[in-house]
Structure formats: structure tokens, C-alpha cells
Amino acid sequence: MQSAAIKRPVLITIVCILGFIWIVFSFPGVFAPSLKKMGDWYPALFGILVATSFISYIGLWHMKQWGVRLFLLSFFVKESLLFLINDVNYVGIFFSIFFICSILPYYKRMDINL
């Protein structure tokens, strides 16, 4: 059964658009020389995080609960990784928390299906 389309709030639209722009610009970062110098597997790890974030924005755009869950998961994994390599970006954390605060109030209104 297809679930009825849920109207997307403007705030989530803005969050998603900003997120897609962030994805486009952070994608080339996967093969940044600085990331490669950290270790052979860091670009792969960062690449998985970028892909996960992208998929989570698609989920958010379609007002799906899995989108929020995936967004939270990728946020915590990314920040843990950055904390481990001692490269915490406070501006990034601020924006991510702002995004989370913007989307969480709508969580219950979102579709539970894929």
C-alpha cells in the first residue's frame, strides 16, 4: 500500500536544500589530499557518511521517519569520527543541531513506511 503524501513544511524544505548544497560541495572532499593523509580508509569512511547524509535528505524531502533516523545516525557517527581524529568543527555541529531541532518537531507527522 502506498501511504498518502504528507505536505512538507517550509522549514524542512530549506533544511533539505541546504543539505543538498552541502552534499554537492562536500563530495569532492572525499578525495581531499588532507583526508588521504590520515589513512587509506578515511576517504572510504567519509564517503559512506556523505552518501548516508544524502540518502537521509532524500528521506526528509519525502517526509519519511527513516530519513530523520538516518540523519541522526550519520550526524553522531560523523562527529564521533571527527572527535577521534581531533578535528571537531563547531560550525558544522551548530548547523547540524539547528537542522535536528528543525526536523524533530515534525517527526511524528512523518510517514513510517519506506
Q: Is 47 in the site for other proteins (CB under 8 A)?
A: yes
- The label of the residue with cell 580508509 reads 41
The sign one gets for the Cα dihedral 44, 71, 24, 58 is positive
Binding mask 48-87 for other proteins (x = CB under 8 A): x-xx--xx--x---x-------------------------
Q: Are 93 and 75 in contact (CB under 8 A)?
A: no
Give residue 7's region: left, alpha or beta (phi > 0; psi -120 to 50). Answer: beta
**Which residues, including other chains, have CB under 8 Å from residue 5's CB and lie 6 or more apart?**
63
**Of the candidate residues 8, 9, 11, 43, the single one contacting other proteins (CB under 8 A):** 43
**Of the candidate residues 44, 85, 88, 97, the single one contacting other proteins (CB under 8 A):** 44
Cell of 93: 555541529
Q: Which stretch binds other proteins (CB under 8 A): 19-27, 68-76, 84-92, 102-110?
A: 19-27
Closer of 61 and 95 to other proteins (Cβ): 61
Catalog residues that contact other proteins under the rule CB under 8 A: 2, 23-24, 27-28, 30-33, 36, 40-41, 43-44, 47-48, 50-51, 54-55, 58, 62, 113-114
